[in-house]
Amino acid sequence: MRSEPKAVLLDRDGTIVVDVPYNGDPDRVVAMPGALETLNTLRADGVPLGVLTNQSGIARGLITEHQVAAVNQRVDAVLGPFDVWEICPHGPDDGCTCRKPAPGMILRACEKLGLHPSEVAFIGDIGADVEAAAAAGAMGVLVPTPVTRQEEIDAAPLKADTLAEAVALLRGAA
């Protein structure tokens, strides 16, 4: 029997907002269906929330850190406020410790929240999200989208069809 997480960390693109590859335009931020209601339920219950996002477009020269910050501000305006934000600006070959599936962003978010990774859950839409949670010692839940590969779905220990279902699963109601 696992206990309910003390904080919920979320992937940005494809999990709480519609994935727009290398989005540098805040006007293109669109919430995933049901995301605001689900996040507000967690907030009403006093559960801290964080957003962790790989943004390799910065390393690739496709978007700037300023553009990512503007998009994140829009996400915060549409779905926030969030208690913690973590961004990895590195590319897949940079060897950093923060780019998912590495656990760095989860570990930093936990440190900022004053929680042990075993006390948090991370919800994302691809295998790297679930792998990062496992590497950090957190609970991971996969909410697949059309871009999620079948092998990622098959490998995920916890899966849900929607963000709301993922939260219900974490809270033992599913």
The pLDDT tens digits along the chain (174 residues) read 457 999 999 999 999 999 999 999 999 999 999 999 999 999 999 999 999 999 999 999 999 999 999 999 999 999 999 999 999 999 999 999 999 999 999 999 999 999 999 999 999 999 999 999 999 999 999 999 999 999 999 999 999 999 999 999 999 855
pLDDT at 1: 40
Catalytic residue annotation: 11, 13
Q: Are 31 and 20 in contact (CB under 8 A)?
A: no
For 25, 42, 57, 84, the CA distances from 100, given in Å and listed in that order, are 23, 24, 14, 17
C-alpha span between 142 and 14 (Å, rounded): 11
